[in-house]
Chains A and B, each alone.
Chain A
Amino acid sequence: MTSLLVIIVLVLLAVALWQLTKIFDLTQVGSSSDSSQVANDKDNNIQGYLMFGFLAFLYVFTIYGLLTWGNLPLHTPASEHGTEVDRLMNITWVLIFTVQAITQALLHYFAFKYKGKKDQKALYFADNNKLEALWSIIPAVTLAGLILYGLYAWTNIMFIDEDEDTIVIELYAQQFKWTARLAGEDNVLGKANVRYIEGVNTLGVDLSDKNAQDDIVVTELHIPKGKKVQFKLRSQDVLHSAYMPHFRAQMNCVPGMVTEFAFTPTYTTSEYRELPYMIEKVAHINELRAKKSVELIAKGQSGLDPYTFDYLLLCNKICGASHYNMQMKIVVDTPEDYKKWLADKTTLVNEVKASLEKPADDASGEAQGDSVATASKEVAIK
């Protein structure tokens, strides 16, 4: 409601300003009309100063932005290649800010400095090959550097060495949910196709494939620190995009094909939570949430829980009405914790078996799960 008021005030403000100019116009009635709407010296003078003012606005707004919002952008990358990405990003930023500061200054300062006066003539200056060569060559050289660095980094990130020791994990997208499939002991994912989707086998894994026998399906993904994780991405319905901002990782999930992205996590979740910047960020967010909670409770709704940081997998390709709520928690463990987490997971094959044998009997299903967990623990020990 307040916003509606704000709008009304703004519209009224606009009307008021318009009325003011109307009065200004009325004072001009009777003066020779034809060129009255062409800028005269007075206009040039005022607008010239405003141009200079606008330059000040740009500078002040930029500095204000950097000070107020400078802590919002993603900070410390949580993956190995992320450091490289951020370094290139920072180099690019230095370049951008330099060029921006200089060109905007020239543009607006010239607009102020050379504001027109009657009976003055401009400099007839139509061409200068040296100058034009200068501003073709400087960008060309600078960009060549950026391109080379960018391509070098890109190649390192995107091309995965075949003999490299990685953990293979499938990320599976569907409206509006993520699921992950671990490749198990053999580190090879079993074949899959949407035509195999049935009951518990929601990912359409070909259960007869020998590589599928040890695959494990989970809805909260854990990965170990310090080991390269090779993600294979699939989608069952529309395009999705697996976006893991803290790892500087993103790749689309395309129905009908398997896409790939790999990275090595460098901070466990608890280590990342302890980063000074993150402690500060979370404290700030919780302050905001506490304030919001008070408002909500006053309205008779339930308050908000305090926030603790977790790595997230978000969907970043428009995928339907609930696109804005398609997320999965990712936990980076120490290698030991990862093994522990993995130990009590049931393989998909056993899950399917359990659901077929005793569909109604939950208690025994759990028992079965436990025994399978023990079994897989044994395998792990071997």
Chain B
Amino acid sequence: MSAEGHDHAHDHEHEHHHKDTFITKYIFSIDHKMIAKQYLITGIIMGVIGISMSLLFRMQLAWPEESFKIFNVLLGDKFAPEGVMANDVYLALVTIHGTIMVFFVLTAGLSGTFSNLLIPLQIGARDMASGFMNMISYWLFFLSAVVMLSSLFVEAGPASAGWTIYPPLSALPQAIPGSGAGMTLWLVSMALFIASSLMGSLNYIVTVINLRTKGMSMTRLPLTIWTFFVTAVIGVISFPVLLSAALLLIFDRSFGTSFFLSDIYIAGEVLHYQGGSPVLFEHLFWFLGHPEVYIVILPAMGLVSEIMATNSRKPIFGYRAMIMSVLAIAFLSTIVWGHHMFISGMNPFLGSVFTFTTLLIAIPSAVKAFNWITTLWKGNLQLNPAMLFSIGMVSTFITGGLTGIILGDSTLDINVHDTYFVIAHFHLVMGISALYGMFAGIYHWFPKMYGRMLNKNLGYIHFWVTAVCAYGVFFPMHFIGLAGLPRRYYTNTNFPLFDDLQNVNVLITTFALVGGAFQLVFLYNFFSSIFYGKKAVQNPWRSTTLEWTTPVEHIHGNWPGEIPEVHRWAYDYSNPEHEEDFVPQTVPMKPGESVLHH
């Protein structure tokens, strides 16, 4: 089913007619490449904020209630009087860290950047199906980021009920100060974010379905496109449910309805709410919340697959199995949300069902992991920084994924639920893995974005320190979780039982601070290379995919002449029937050449 080539030459003529002003080129751009860069830079800025917050609360956990000048400088007299972090501020930091990292960095920053950059370039399209909607999508995201950050400055502090914002805590300002104006802004920001995400996703889906160039059948698409496409589909299915949960929560908070609230006595009085259930909110939240972790990790998987194949100089192993496993993961991801709720008070029978569906996900995940490993086998590995991050991604995905077998099993979840074991698990499997995927993508496609190269030696330093620190932070965390230490505790000094965990906490924080500091190496490399990096050649990694057939200098419409036609699949590396170790998709099949994928 290959899409027909339209009259692209005509489109192209049209593109050249209008002159770009500064505003239409850099701010309200409708060019997908510029929008990708906007997403990336916004994502990086949000990432710096989100990671810095984690360093602050890690310091509090290692040296509880100690006074740090930096707390006072960064948080102010109200939130950190005399440099000691207040207990509700700790919760606020945890909440906003989670929100920023999950949504603003790993959803918008990762998927927004690379879907926008790569979908038109790799399928051979002039731009997204709707450039205008694409622009609106970015600016709604930007607005939502501004609203989220502005919530840090309201009188009672930002939302503090955890990134999962379970009511009644998130609904009642009497329960925690952050559930006042801070929570309102959180919800508004999220509504904007969801609108942005939906516009983006619809655009990606339509573009992939309709705008593939001649010869680019679905089974010739690079795996990046497959994952972006499937991610967009999951997003369209699940994000609206979060929006409805947010709206109903707004109703409960502001208009006195009782969707999620019932029988509450707080601050000396009985509230009028009756008949609602917080468990309903949990269902709605996790109906998005669980697919969300796949929205985060699937694009990273796609980027890693592509980078691994290119740098191994080998076809990705089991291309069709990779597609099938992405589809299987996507399907299963929408029917496993209940594993976050084994002990929420829902019917234990549901627990059995969700255990079953959850553990099934291990099968397609195992297929992916083994296929990546086999891709390396007998390769000619070019160990560029992007490749290192890709291998690192597979490593942390396996380490973090394996403990999912414990958490997904309702029986075992009883005792490790909401402990540091969970923190260790999901930070490795979706936090660090997705971040590695994002870094891999940045190192690999930086030349495509900015026409210059990132410094590889800084890249190597960045990778190795990050790799050691990531394990240094999250590996010990499994132990304190298994010791029964609950997450979201401001300090555990009130429990002598946990006194022997304190040394581990200090070690974790030390690794976190070192790892955090070395992200400065990346930031320096990134921002200085935009201006001073070595000029890139057209196809620096000797890759087969279409984006490397475009000129280094960005132009509207991507290709100066005709859109190239595609003749083969995306992974013809080291094909024995060819001299070169890569055959671009645009090279016609030789007479009699054997065909792997149509």
Expressed in whole angstroms, the Cα–Cα distance for A237 and B263 within the complex equals 8
B384: chain A residues at CB < 8 Å are 38-39, 43
B175 near A48 with CB under 8 A, answer no
- Give residues 256-305 of B contacting A (CB, 8 Å): 261-266, 270, 274-279
- With contacts A50-B464, A110-B373 taken as known, whether A307 is within 8 angstroms of B489 at the C-beta atoms is no
Expressed in whole angstroms, the Cα–Cα distance for A304 and B496 within the complex equals 10
Among the listed A6, A125, A248, which residue makes an inter-chain contact with B315, where contact means beta carbons less than 8 Å apart? A125
A111 near B381 with CB under 8 A, answer yes
Among the listed A6, A285, A322, which residue makes an inter-chain contact with B87, where contact means beta carbons less than 8 Å apart? A322
Tell me the smallest distance from the CB of A140 to a CB of chain B, in Å.
Answer: 5
B411 near A88 with CB under 8 A, answer yes
A174: chain B residues at CB < 8 Å are 265
- Give residues 501-553 of B contacting A (CB, 8 Å): 501-502, 504, 510, 513-514, 517-518, 520-521, 524, 533-537, 540-541
Expressed in whole angstroms, the Cα–Cα distance for A327 and B484 within the complex equals 14
- Give residues 117-156 of A contacting B (CB, 8 Å): 117, 120-128, 131-132, 135-136, 139-140, 143, 146-147, 150-151, 153-155
Expressed in whole angstroms, the Cα–Cα distance for A324 and B468 within the complex equals 30
Q: Name the CB-closest residue of B to A195.
A: B270
Among the listed A237, A257, A285, which residue makes an inter-chain contact with B500, where contact means beta carbons less than 8 Å apart? A285
B500 near A121 with CB under 8 A, answer no
B475 near A62 with CB under 8 A, answer yes
- With contacts A6-B513, A153-B411, A254-B344 taken as known, whether A194 is within 8 angstroms of B476 at the C-beta atoms is no
- Give residues 74-103 of B contacting A (CB, 8 Å): 87-88, 91
A154 near B482 with CB under 8 A, answer no
A135: chain B residues at CB < 8 Å are 366-367, 370
- With contacts A10-B513, A110-B373, A114-B376 taken as known, whether A74 is within 8 angstroms of B363 at the C-beta atoms is no
B535: chain A residues at CB < 8 Å are 33-34
Chain B 470-501: CB-based contact to A (< 8 A → 1; otherwise 0) = 01100110011011101011111011110111
A95: chain B residues at CB < 8 Å are 405
Among the listed A65, A239, A316, which residue makes an inter-chain contact with B168, where contact means beta carbons less than 8 Å apart? A239
B382: chain A residues at CB < 8 Å are 38-39, 44, 116
Tell me the smallest distance from the CB of A124 to a CB of chain B, in Å.
Answer: 5
Is A334 located at the chain interface by the 8 A CB criterion? no
Is B321 located at the chain interface by the 8 A CB criterion? yes
Is B150 located at the chain interface by the 8 A CB criterion? no
B348 near A236 with CB under 8 A, answer no
Is B319 located at the chain interface by the 8 A CB criterion? yes
A236: chain B residues at CB < 8 Å are 263-266
- With contacts A126-B319, A245-B415 taken as known, whether A14 is within 8 angstroms of B517 at the C-beta atoms is yes
A309 near B378 with CB under 8 A, answer no
B499 near A34 with CB under 8 A, answer no
Expressed in whole angstroms, the Cα–Cα distance for A250 and B419 within the complex equals 11
Tell me the smallest distance from the CB of A112 to a CB of chain B, in Å.
Answer: 9
Is B360 located at the chain interface by the 8 A CB criterion? yes
Is B573 located at the chain interface by the 8 A CB criterion? yes
B161: chain A residues at CB < 8 Å are 318
A108 near B391 with CB under 8 A, answer yes
Expressed in whole angstroms, the Cα–Cα distance for A139 and B362 within the complex equals 7
Is B458 located at the chain interface by the 8 A CB criterion? yes
B356 near A151 with CB under 8 A, answer yes
Expressed in whole angstroms, the Cα–Cα distance for A270 and B150 within the complex equals 54
Most chain B C-beta atoms within 10 Å of own C-beta, residue among A72, A125, A127: A72
B247: chain A residues at CB < 8 Å are none
A132 near B367 with CB under 8 A, answer yes
Is A320 located at the chain interface by the 8 A CB criterion? yes
Tell me the smallest distance from the CB of A138 to a CB of chain B, in Å.
Answer: 8
B537 near A239 with CB under 8 A, answer no
Tell me the smallest distance from the CB of A88 to a CB of chain B, in Å.
Answer: 6
Is A58 located at the chain interface by the 8 A CB criterion? yes
Q: Name the CB-closest residue of B to A147.
A: B359
B275: chain A residues at CB < 8 Å are 256
Number of A-B contacts (CB under 8 A): 423
Tell me the smallest distance from the CB of B327 to a CB of chain A, in Å.
Answer: 14
A24: chain B residues at CB < 8 Å are 457
- With contacts A43-B456, A135-B366, A151-B355 taken as known, whether A33 is within 8 angstroms of B534 at the C-beta atoms is yes
A62: chain B residues at CB < 8 Å are 475
Is A249 located at the chain interface by the 8 A CB criterion? yes
Is A163 located at the chain interface by the 8 A CB criterion? no
With an 8 Å Cβ cutoff, the count of chain B residues facing the other chain is 149
Tell me the smallest distance from the CB of A241 to a CB of chain B, in Å.
Answer: 7
Is A89 located at the chain interface by the 8 A CB criterion? yes
B475 near A61 with CB under 8 A, answer yes
Is A226 located at the chain interface by the 8 A CB criterion? no
Among the listed B363, B387, B391, B517, which residue makes an inter-chain contact with A140, where contact means beta carbons less than 8 Å apart? B363
Q: Name the CB-closest residue of A to B453.
A: A37
Expressed in whole angstroms, the Cα–Cα distance for A72 and B398 within the complex equals 24
B415 near A74 with CB under 8 A, answer yes
- Give residues 363-389 of B contacting A (CB, 8 Å): 363, 366-367, 369-374, 376-384, 387-388
B345 near A259 with CB under 8 A, answer yes
B513: chain A residues at CB < 8 Å are 3, 6-7, 10
Q: Name the CB-closest residue of B to A44.
A: B383
Q: Name the CB-closest residue of B to A245.
A: B484
Binds A, one of B25-33, B62-70, B219-227, B238-246: B62-70
- Give residues 57-109 of A contacting B (CB, 8 Å): 57-58, 61-62, 65, 69-70, 72-74, 84-85, 88-89, 92, 95-96, 99-100, 103-104, 106-108
B312 near A122 with CB under 8 A, answer yes
Expressed in whole angstroms, the Cα–Cα distance for A1 and B263 within the complex equals 48
Is B461 located at the chain interface by the 8 A CB criterion? yes
Is B130 located at the chain interface by the 8 A CB criterion? no
Expressed in whole angstroms, the Cα–Cα distance for A8 and B221 within the complex equals 48
Chain A 30-51: CB-based contact to B (< 8 A → 1; otherwise 0) = 0001111111000110011011
B520: chain A residues at CB < 8 Å are 11, 14
Expressed in whole angstroms, the Cα–Cα distance for A36 and B573 within the complex equals 22
A157: chain B residues at CB < 8 Å are 411, 414
A323 near B399 with CB under 8 A, answer no
Is A317 located at the chain interface by the 8 A CB criterion? yes
Tell me the smallest distance from the CB of B413 to a CB of chain A, in Å.
Answer: 9
Among the listed B313, B479, B492, which residue makes an inter-chain contact with A69, where contact means beta carbons less than 8 Å apart? B479
Expressed in whole angstroms, the Cα–Cα distance for A296 and B420 within the complex equals 28
- With contacts A10-B514, A121-B581, A309-B497 taken as known, whether A126 is within 8 angstroms of B395 at the C-beta atoms is no
B419: chain A residues at CB < 8 Å are 316
Pairs across A and B, CB under 8 Å, 11 listed = A3-B63, A3-B68, A54-B464, A65-B475, A107-B398, A121-B581, A237-B172, A245-B415, A285-B496, A318-B91, A318-B161
- Besides A122-B380, A249-B415, 17 new A-B residue pairs in contact (Cβ under 8 A), listed by A number: A6-B513, A10-B513, A35-B540, A39-B382, A39-B387, A99-B398, A104-B395, A107-B398, A121-B576, A122-B313, A122-B378, A150-B359, A155-B352, A238-B266, A245-B415, A249-B414, A255-B263
Q: List the interface of chain B (C-beta within 8 A of A).
A: 59, 62-63, 68-70, 87-88, 91, 160-162, 166-169, 172, 175-177, 261-266, 270, 274-279, 312-321, 343-345, 348, 351-352, 355-356, 359-360, 362-363, 366-367, 369-374, 376-384, 387-388, 391, 394-395, 398-399, 402-403, 405-406, 409-412, 414-415, 417-419, 453-458, 460-461, 464, 467-468, 471-472, 475-476, 479-480, 482-484, 486, 488-492, 494-497, 499-502, 504, 510, 513-514, 517-518, 520-521, 524, 533-537, 540-541, 571, 573-576, 581, 596
Q: List 9 A-B pairs, minimum CB-CB distance, nearest first.
A: A256-B262, A245-B484, A73-B482, A158-B348, A47-B383, A37-B453, A259-B345, A194-B265, A307-B496
Q: List the interface of chain A (C-beta within 8 A of B).
A: 3-4, 6-7, 10-11, 14, 17-18, 21, 24-25, 33-39, 43-44, 47-48, 50-51, 54, 57-58, 61-62, 65, 69-70, 72-74, 84-85, 88-89, 92, 95-96, 99-100, 103-104, 106-108, 110-111, 114-117, 120-128, 131-132, 135-136, 139-140, 143, 146-147, 150-151, 153-155, 157-159, 174-175, 193-195, 197, 204, 233, 236-239, 241, 243, 245-246, 248-252, 254-257, 259, 261, 281, 284-285, 288-289, 304, 307, 309, 312, 314-325, 327
